[in-house]
Chain A
Amino acid sequence: MELLYLLVLKDLKVRYKSSVLGYIWALANPFAFAFVYWVAFKFIMRVEMENYSIFLITGMFPWIWLSTSIIQSTRVFQVNSSLVKKVNLNRAVLPLSIVVGETVHFLFALPVIVIFLAMAGGQFVHLSWIWQIPLLILTQVVFVYPLALMFSIANVFVHDIEYLVGVAFSMLFFATPMVYPISMVPQEYRPYSEASPLHALIQAWRTVLMDGTVHDQYVLYCLVWGSVFSVAAFLMYRRLRHRLGELL
């Protein structure tokens, strides 16, 4: 537990210390993405949608949290191979430190999202966030951590996983209704979009951040997937953890 705390602290310190504008840079990335898509889809493709910029921002931050957590975790055992080989520690803590670090990072970004919502007008702070945001954060961690652990272990055995994960996430970004609303998906494909737990997760964040309402079915759906992943990750870790030291 304390190891986790110190590992996360290390990541955050390194990230915010090493460059003068550490915090700004960390925020710039999702904003830049959102801006690019806003220009591309609002002005060039002419997506007809109210509050399109807010729609983008509220989806983009949770998405970047999710994808960076998993992409970075995939390499975590390679990057920290000396810790795996030369120290006897609980190896599952390494991907967890990445996921928790990204979570803290997301929390730091929340005020900026709120400022953005305020600029766009409307009611921007909801009292119900006191319990809604922690609930969603918990849901997301339950959903993301098992995936991060499974990919990180798999990447030790099959080195190509890290590239596949990278490609998969750029594809999922467009497959998930992120830059377009689900209503634009053709009717016959819509069930697939709706079945995606990623869509449920992003949609849950959107409704909370934009309206202050929680859609139970989205959250429950993510939690169900999260539990399935957790069981799978637990079994995988228990079976393969002893071989990690040999293969790095």
Chain B
Amino acid sequence: MKSIVVCKDLWKSYHQRPRIGFKELLVKRKTVGQNRFSREWALRDVTFSVERGKAFGIIGHNGTGKSTLLGLLLGTLVPDKGRISITGRVASLLELGAGFHPELSGRDNVFLYGAILGMTLKEIRRVFQQIVEFSELGDAIETPLRTYSSGMITRLGFSTIIHAPADVLLIDEVLGVGDARFQEKCKDYLIDFRKRNGTLVIVSHDMAALEEMCDDGVCLNMGSAACIGPMSEVIRHYQGLVHAAQSSTEVGLS
């Protein structure tokens, strides 16, 4: 099997003083001391690859570089060192409905969002009916988005993204979309997506869902890959880290 996603020796750092301006010059904010955001490298030498049709999970504490890794895979960020290659189209469920406008109808928003995701008008027209059906919005598709509940908006966002042609789907904590029934539907869809040889990269804190969905995974710790391998093993490693952190704080308290 050929790997569809390859990351080799990825290094990524953010600049210490990201923004300069008169305010910063005048106020002379003290440089932030030693906290986890001022660390030099957000990602340190991360290497992995994902084969076509597999699901890959990414876990780790907050601020250990999970979102950075997804940004790199998506192409919104560029690595300082290392190489990423992805064969095929990438779609992201990083943020459902980025670019939705509340004053526009659901229909207009689907077209706008579809175009933002890189679909052509023709492609959107072809799948529009399916999007509406999957989102279960019915006639509400013609009313402005501001009248929607937040569940309806995420449903519409999710439905639009999954109808964009993609070989690799990046998912960031959006497995909990809508009510329980819709979540089931999403899960079914993702399983079906994999059957059609689609590849998933999932960031989540929901260990049960990850264990169920993913074949392999990586556990990030302070930007480095602490453990790469079969998902169940990676989860065990992560739980070990969590326990270690807990017991060390307990020791510190006592």
What is A's interface to B at a CB cutoff of 8 Å?
A: 2-3, 5-7, 9-10, 13-14, 17-18, 80, 82-89, 157-160, 242, 245-247
Contacts and interface: CB of A to CB of B under 8 A. Distances in A.
B127 interface: no
B15 A246 contact: yes
A17 B21 contact: no
Interface of B: 14-15, 18-23, 71, 74-78, 90, 92, 94-95, 98-99, 101, 103-104, 108, 111-112, 115-118, 120-121
B95 A160 contact: no
Question: Binding site of B, secondary structure by majority: helix, strand, loop or mixed?
Answer: loop
Given A158-B21, A159-B19, A247-B19, A86 B98 contact: yes
Contact of B120 (A2, A17, A89, A245): A2
A33 to B, nearest CB: 27
A2 B115 contact: yes
Contacts of A88: 74-76, 90, 92, 118
Nearest to B77: A245
Contacts of B71: 85, 245
A14 B121 contact: no
A246 B41 CA distance: 13
Q: Is chain A's binding surface mostly helix, strand, loop or mixed? A: helix
Interchain residue pairs A-B with the least CB separation, the first 8: A82-B98, A86-B95, A242-B78, A245-B76, A3-B115, A88-B75, A86-B94, A6-B115
A157 B22 CA distance: 12
Given A87-B92, A88-B76, A14 B103 contact: yes
Contact of A247 (B18, B75, B98, B99): B18
Nearest to A242: B78
Q: Which of A83, A86, A158, A246 has the most CB of B within 10 A?
A: A86
Nearest to B73: A88
B76 A87 contact: yes
B116 A87 contact: yes
Contact of B112 (A6, A85, A158): A6
Nearest to B25: A160
A246 B21 contact: no
